[in-house]
Amino acid sequence: RGRLFHEGWIREVRGQVAPSRWTDQEPPLDHLLADSLLPDVVYLQLASGEVGGWPAFGQVLPTLVEKGLVDRDRTLTVALEQLTAGQKPSAQKALAGVLTALDPSADDVDGGLDLLLSILSSCHASALAPVLDLAIGSVRTGEDAVELARVVAPRAQKNVRRTLLKVLAPDALGTGV
């Protein structure tokens, strides 16, 4: 019953707001901000596996967080948890957009490097960049760097390995690793 309600709410919001137009203008949020169910629906949308159907979802989050309508830490936690849940590639891409929109630091990630390594080991390529940035920021020791390299090295994406090699380069090692 809750899922049907949630799907209906999202369908109604999608009908009122044209996410495809959000890319070139500020999202029209007035009707969303007035809805008392907003926080619950945001968290449900993130956890539903259907967030990929609304890729511009991440664009609206900074405003919701800024206005205090949605808790940033909870939103970040839900997005990271969902990246470990084997979501569809489109949902993972949207979740990566949420991470990008929230602009977290490594210290904001409750599960730390272990959680990020778990995500990196199985996430879709479209979600790699923001998770890798967080993982790199979470490296505190040489052992952490080795673990990160072990997880990233088998990935097929060359740009991910290049990014890691730049960070692990001898001239960069004294600056954070």
3-state per-residue secondary structure call for 98-135: HHHHHCCCHHHCCCHHHHHHHHHHHCCHHHHHHHHHHH
User: Helix 38-47 to helix 57-66 angle, to the nearest 10 degrees?
Assistant: 140
Structure-token pair, residue 48: 């539903």
Q: Yes or no: say if 130 and 111 are a contact pair by the CB < 8 Å rule.
A: no
Average pLDDT in the 58-73 region? 82
Q: Indicate the pLDDT class of residue 30, thresholds 50, 70 and 90.
A: low
Give the model's pLDDT for residue 50: 76
Strand (E) or helix (H) holding 14 = helix 2-16
Bigger pLDDT: 46 vs 34: 46
Find the angle CA(110)-CA(93)-CA(118) to the nearest 5 degrees. Answer: 40
The amino acid present at 102, given as its one-letter code, is L
- Closest of 32, 81, 80 to residue 60, by C-alpha: 32
Kindly provide the b/e burial profile for residues 23-60, where b requires at least 16 CB atoms within 10 angstroms of the residue's own CB.
Answer: eeeebeeeebeeeeebeebbbbbbbbebbbbbbbbbbb
pLDDT, mean of residues 123-131: 92
Q: Which of 11-15, 103-107, 149-153 has the lowest mean pLDDT?
A: 11-15
Instruction: For 74-126, write each residue's pLDDT tens digit.
Output: 999 999 999 998 888 988 998 998 899 899 999 999 999 999 999 999 999 98
Mean pLDDT of the chain: 80
